[in-house]
Each structure stands twice: as C-alpha cells, then as structure tokens.
Amino acid sequence: MSANGFHKALQRPEVKEYQQEVQHKFVLESESSRAFYKARAFEVALDLMKNAQSETVRARMVEFLAGDGKAPQVAVHVDARTVSGEYAFVRPGGKVVEIQDPSETAEDETPEHNTQ
C-alpha cells in the first residue's frame, strides 16, 4: 500500500473507529498487566522484608510497603539571578530601604539637578 493510500484509509470513519477500538483494548490490557505486576512486586517486597539478610534491604522494603506511592514529580526552575547584582529579602509587612553611595548623591546635586 502506498503512503497516499494509507493516509486516505486512515481518514475513513470505519478505519478510525477500528483504530480507536484497538487502542482502547491495548490500554485496558496494559492496565490489567500493570495491576498484576504491581501485586507481584508487593509479594516480592514482603518476602524480601521477611527474609533478606541485609538490614538495609529490609528497611527499604518496609519503606516501600508502608508508602502510599510516589507523589507526582514536578520540575521547577528558579532563576535566582538579579539584574542589578543586588539581593534583598523583605519580610511580609516590611519596607524596602535603598542606601545610596554618598558619591552618587553628590553627583546628583550638581547645578543642573539642583532646583533651589
């Protein structure tokens, strides 16, 4: 079958319906297999917890069996660079106070900037 013919076949409603049916069946089979393997993993973990010679292995199996599963992981990127090269932490309700270099304030008091 040519690529063009394949593409046209995929556009037909009955082919789309069949494709969705096959995908749904695959997902259901995968989920049932996953449940079986998860149950088997618990059996093996219980056996290791009871019979392992290593204290570390037994401790890990206790953690595994006592845990409710891993929480969904979230990737977070924090860009801590500052534009001016300064950093200030202000507690809630606090005020930001800027301290200027005396040489900078002297430059601002030149006759052009002085309005008195």
Q: Is pLDDT of 114 > 70?
A: no
pLDDT at position 93: 84
Q: How far apart are the C-alpha atoms of 80 and 85, rounded to whole Å?
A: 11
Q: What is the pLDDT of residues 30-84, one digit of tens each?
A: 888 888 898 898 899 999 989 999 999 989 888 888 876 666 778 887 776 656 6
| CB-CB contact of 46 with 65 (8 Å) | yes
Residues with Cβ within 8 Å of 16's Cβ and at least 6 positions away in sequence, in order, are 10
Percentage of the chain exceeding pLDDT 70: 78
3-state class (DSSP) for residue 94: coil
Q: How far apart are the C-alpha atoms of 41 and 35, rounded to whole Å?
A: 10
> Range with the lowest mean pLDDT among 1-5, 13-17, 98-102?
98-102
How far does CA 31 lie from the centroid of its chain?
23
